[in-house]
């Protein structure tokens, strides 16, 4: 068995997936309707909407299967997300990647697999609409197109969720998406009795960049800043764009020492970006940080406001 490789943009991919807030959610008719259609149209034993999380694939919709998830290491969908379009295995027993896979040698005894890669945008793949059967088969071009059409229907439903929780420009959480994830992490911190830190970032001289070099350069700066946050912060941290040139991060199980380490690492990343991107301006920012014990009674909104006040103190000190 060959394990699926991890995409090069895994951190960005996982953040986008989790921002949708659909993992471990209940079944929805808009997804189940498509998997029912797929199972019937193709006469297969199983049809799924599978979302590939960090170490598992979780089924948002499933027909013909009792399991709700399987390990990512043995998943066919883990391979499928590494390419665009369709990933088709006519006979898994004859494929060196899968012939000894426990999903092949044991229930559900996969022989045929066809998956349409579900994407949030080009290159950012979060899962598949897939067909599975106990018998090998060859998929005709007409059937392949039909699977693509059904997959596009699922993508439209995902995009409707995305519009509500993701910032369209940077593809990190918008305010609504951030607060949803922050509230979830706040409950985890209280249950695990660990502290948290809120960081509020504001870009300095952003209006000057917009006015001098155009809004396309302003959009570049916003997207670059978001990417640097994705690359620097831990997977367990929640990041988002609150609006305009304001960004936010919630660090879980954090104290002043490891927060300073993360901020230093982020500062180095920004300096390196400024040195390599060869622009007539530099990305500059102010940041406010506030620490909160696990038993705080404050809401995520209130903690953001305190970090915001600290950020303005930092900004005013730089103006002087």
Render pLDDT for 127-140 as a digit per residue (tens, 0 to 9). Answer: 999 999 999 999 99
Q: Are 259 and 240 in contact (CB under 8 A)?
A: no
- pLDDT tens sequence across 167-181: 889 988 899 889 988
The residues of the chain that CATH labels 3.30.450.40 are 10-165
pLDDT of residue 319 exceeding 80: no
pLDDT of residue 320 exceeding 80: no
* Architecture of the domain made up of 10-165: 2-Layer Sandwich (3.30)
Query: In which band, very low, low, confident or very high, does the pLDDT at 318 lie, cut at 50, 70 and 90?
Result: low
DSSP string, the chain: --PPPPPTTHHHHHHHHHHTT-TTPPP-HHHHHHHHHHHHHHT-SEEEEEEE-SSEEEEEEEES---SEEEGGG-SHHHHTTSSSEEEES-GGG-TTTTT-HHHHSTT---EEEEEEEEEETTEEEEEEEEEESS-----HHHHHHHHHHHHHHHHHHHHHHHHHB-TTT-SB-HHHHHHHHHHHHHHHHHHT--EEEEEEEEETHHHHHHHH-HHHHHHHHHHHHHHHHHHS-TTSEEEEEETTEEEEEEES--HHHHHHHHHHHHHHHHHHHHHS--SS--EEEEEEEEE-TT----HHHHHHHHHHHHHHHHHHHH-
Mean pLDDT for all residues in the chain = 92
> Could you tell me the two tokens for 216?
């396309």
DSSP string, 226-255: HHHHHHHS-TTSEEEEEETTEEEEEEES--
The residues of the chain that CATH labels 3.30.70.270 are 175-319
pLDDT of residue 217 exceeding 60: yes
- Return the CATH number of 175-319, one of 3.30.70.270, 2.40.50.140, 1.25.10.10, 3.40.50.11540: 3.30.70.270
Cα–Cα distance for residue pair 286/315, rounded to 1 Å: 5
- What percentage of residues in the chain have a pLDDT greater than 90? 73
- Mean pLDDT value of segment 212-233: 94
Q: Would you call 314 exposed, middle or buried from its count of C-beta atoms within 10 A (0-12, 13-18, 19+)?
A: middle
- Mean pLDDT value of segment 42-56: 97
């Amino acid at each position: 068995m060959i394990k699926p490789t991890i995409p090069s943009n895994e951190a960005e991919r996982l953040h986008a997936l989790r921002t949708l807030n659909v993992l471990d959610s209940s079944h929805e008719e808009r997804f189940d309707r498509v998997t029912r259609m797929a199972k019937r149209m193709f006469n297969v034993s199983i049809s799924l909407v599978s979302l590939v999380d960090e170490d598992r694939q979780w089924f948002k919709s499933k027909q013909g299967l009792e399991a709700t998830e399987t390990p990512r290491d043995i998943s066919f969908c883990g391979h499928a997300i590494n390419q665009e379009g369709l990933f088709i295995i006519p006979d898994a027993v004859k494929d060196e990647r899968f012939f000894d896979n426990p999903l092949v040698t044991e229930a559900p005894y996969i022989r045929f697999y066809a998956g349409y890669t579900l994407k949030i945008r080009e290159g950012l793949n979060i899962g598949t609409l897939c067909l599975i059967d106990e018998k090998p088969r060859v998929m005709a071009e007409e059937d392949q197109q039909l699977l693509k059409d059904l997959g596009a229907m699922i993508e439209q439903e995902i995009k409707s969720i995305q519009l509500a929780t993701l910032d369209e420009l940077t593809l990190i959480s918008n305010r609504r998406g951030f607060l949803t994830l922050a509230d979830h992490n706040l409950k985890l911190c209280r249950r695990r009795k660990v502290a948290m830190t809120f960081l509020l970032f504001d870009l300095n001289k952003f209006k000057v960049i917009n006015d001098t070099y155009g809004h396309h350069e302003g959009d570049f700066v916003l997207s670059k800043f978001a990417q640097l946050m994705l690359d620097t912060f831990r997977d367990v941290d929640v990041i988002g764009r609150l609006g305009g040139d304001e960004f936010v991060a919630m660090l879980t199980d954090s104290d002043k020492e490891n927060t300073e380490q993360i901020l230093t690492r982020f500062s180095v990343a920004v300096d390196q970006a400024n040195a390599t991107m060869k622009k007539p301006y530099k990305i500059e920012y102010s940041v406010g940080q506030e620490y909160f014990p696990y038993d705080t009674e404050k809401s995520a909104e209130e903690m953001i406001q305190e970090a915001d006040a600290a950020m303005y103190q930092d900004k005013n000190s730089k103006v002087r």
